[in-house]
Structure formats: C-alpha cells, structure tokens
Amino acid sequence: MIKFRDAPRYMQWLPTETTATVARCEFFARGMVNGFTAGRHRSPRKGFSVEFAEHRQYVPGDDIRTIDWRAVARKNRYYVKQYMEETNLRATLLLDCSGSMGYVGEKAVEVNGKRLSKFDYARYITAALAYMFIGQQDAVGLVTFDSKIRDYLRAKAQPSQVRQVLKSIDSAEPQGETALSVIFDEIAERIPHRGVVIIVSDFFDNAEAIQRALHHFRFRHHEIIMFHTMADEEINFPFNSFVHFKDLESATELQLDPKTIRADYLERVNELIKSLKAAGSQLHADYVPLNTSVPFEKALSDYLAKRRG
C-alpha cells in the first residue's frame, strides 16, 4: 500500500493506484455543454468541427468555402453548412459531508490497514474524478456540504485545481444534518453554465424532496450523475442480536432488537433506491450505486467503462 511520507497530507486521497486507473479512463458528456476552449464535447454553439448541424441561407460576408453546392443545385439558392462546435465541459462535484457519511461498515475496504467510512470512500471517488477531468483538459469544481454549503470551488481547468480540490476534501469532516433538497436548489443557482453535476452522497433525505431538487439541475440543462454511497450493512442489514444504534446526525442512541425493525428498515431503503432510480430514468441521469465493500478504483472504472459502452 502507498505511504505518503514526504507528500502533503491531502495527497493521500489520490494514491498512485488511482491515478494509474483513471489515466486509462475517459469521460464524455452525453448532452451539450458550454465550455471555453476546443475539446471533446458537443457545444450548443455552431462552429467548424466535423459534425454537421444544419444549413442556413447564405448572406453576404459568409465564407464561400462553407457553401454547400449540392444544396445550391437542388434548391437554386445559396446555402452554407453549419457544424457543431466541440468544447470542454465543466464538471461540478458535490460531496456530502453530513454526519451519516461518517459510518464505517464492517465489510468496508481497507486503506493502510484502516476500514473506510462512507465519507472517506466518497473522498477517494471525488479526488479521482477531479484528477480525471483535469487530465482530459476539462474544468472541475467542488461543493462540500451538509445542511449548508461548507466550501465552494468554481470550475477551473487549471492543473492546480486538483490540489485545491484535494485540500478542500482533506479539511472536510462528516458532521451536521442532511438537507439535500435545499442545498441542491442553492447550488443549481450558483453554477453559471450548463455542464455535468456529479453528486457523491448517501442521499439520506426525503426522496420526493430530492427528486424535486434534481429537476432544478435539469431545468438548467445540467447532466446529472448520482453516486449513491452506502455501506454493505446499510444495504442488507445483517444484524441479528441486540445492537446499540447511534444516529450520526442527531446523536440519538437506541438499544434495539434488529429483528423487529429489519423489514421496515429494508422497505425504506429499497423505496429510497427505487425513488432515485426513477428520478434517474425520468431525468436521463445516471444512478450509480456504490458499496464501500468494493474497492473504489474498481467501482469507478466499472462505471466509466459501462458509460463508454
């Protein structure tokens, strides 16, 4: 396992195994995005790339090299070709820092001999995504939040942006309650241009409110990706004997027989998952379940390979 003896502490979230994996991956926006340099993604603006968009009638001043002579022969009028301009995208990473993200599952993967909490797992995913976007000359930004926005980095395509993202996620800690719908509405208003919004969260909030807030991102023409981060125990609830449960957001503690609540708990979890999948289908968004028992490099590379396919 990698040891970071001489590197700054924040570099722990980007181990060499991750950079090697991400270097083999590519991300393409499915829809159109607004960018500011030539790149690999489709833009809503017309330019002179290889992908044809439409004809328009010739006006004095147009470059005669763009005239479509076949269209002239058919319609006896002068038409020019327009093409889709290619651009780079702006990706905004939303990292949930609420208290529930601090849960550490018994089956969670280990890094340097320590089992990862959901939050640490999410930090590794977020760091890898930031590195990937900057590596392909796209812009990346970051929002860390619980019931409030804790840090906001506007999307930039500079190589130094990776360091800023790593510093931000290293200084963040899981605390506070969840207020996803309120936060999503606020973030949607802050992002100035259409792009990709990637949410890394356990989505422990009211499902209907989350769906309404996700619509706000789509209204502003963003593509949405939901990385639903949960521990294996939260998904399958394997507890059998009396267990001491603690709410990581409200500090409420209860001693319960898990057999009496298993059915109700699993029903609620399955309803949340069903709701998020339905929102993804309706909004043409990606719903990506993440289980902290699966190595994060594998989970991310599997998703990117599936998306590319």
- Residue pair 126/165 in contact by the 8 Å Cβ criterion: yes
How much of the chain exceeds pLDDT 90, in percent?
61
Quickly tell me which residue has 């790339």 as its tokens. 49
Residue 129 makes CB contacts below 8 A (sequence gap 6+) with 91, 93, 140, 198, 300
Is residue 280 included in any domain, yes or no? yes
- Residue pair 203/95 in contact by the 8 Å Cβ criterion: no
- Same domain (yes/no): 268, 241: yes
- Full-model pTM: 0.80
Q: Find how far residue 249's CA is from the centre of its chain.
A: 23
Among 53, 86, 80, smallest CA distance to 65 is for: 80
Query: Does the pLDDT value for residue 109 go beyond 80?
Result: yes
Instruction: Give per-residue pLDDT as tens, 282-297.
Output: 999 999 999 999 999 9
The packing angle between helices 207-219 and 258-283, to 10°, is 20
What is the residue-averaged pLDDT of the chain?
A: 86
Query: Does the pLDDT value for residue 114 go beyond 60?
Result: yes
Instruction: Give per-residue pLDDT as tens, 118-171.
Output: 999 999 999 999 999 999 989 999 999 999 999 999 999 999 999 999 999 999
Rounded mean pLDDT of 213-241?
A: 94
How much of the chain exceeds pLDDT 70, in percent?
86
Quickly tell me which residue has 């590319």 as its tokens. 308
Please tell me which residue, 58 or 212, carries the higher pLDDT value: 212
Instruction: Give per-residue pLDDT as tens, 16-49.
Output: 999 998 888 888 877 544 544 444 544 444 444 4
Count structural domains, the chain: 2
CATH of the domain at 95: 3.40.50.410
- C-alpha radius of gyration, the chain, whole number: 23
Phi, then psi, of 292 in degrees rounded to 5: -65, -5
- Same domain (yes/no): 64, 189: no
What would the two tokens of residue 160 be? 């130094």
Instruction: Give per-residue pLDDT as tens, 183-215.
Output: 999 999 999 888 999 999 999 998 889 999 999
CA distances from 55 to 34, 49, 58, 71, 78 (A): 22, 14, 9, 9, 10
- Tell me which residue range forms the domain holding 62: 41-87
Q: Which residues pair with 115 in a beta bridge?
A: 110
- Same domain (yes/no): 153, 265: yes
- Same domain (yes/no): 49, 112: no
Rounded mean pLDDT of 223-246?
A: 90
Is residue 4 included in any domain, yes or no? no
- Same domain (yes/no): 266, 198: yes
- Same domain (yes/no): 176, 211: yes
Q: What is the DSSP letter of 67?
A: B
pLDDT of amino acid 57:
74
pLDDT of amino acid 155:
94
What would the two tokens of residue 117 be? 């909490």
Instruction: Give the burial class of 150: count Cβ atoms within 10 A of its Cβ; 0-12 exposed, 13-18 middle, 19 or more buried.
Output: middle
Please tell me which residue, 107 or 256, carries the higher pLDDT value: 107
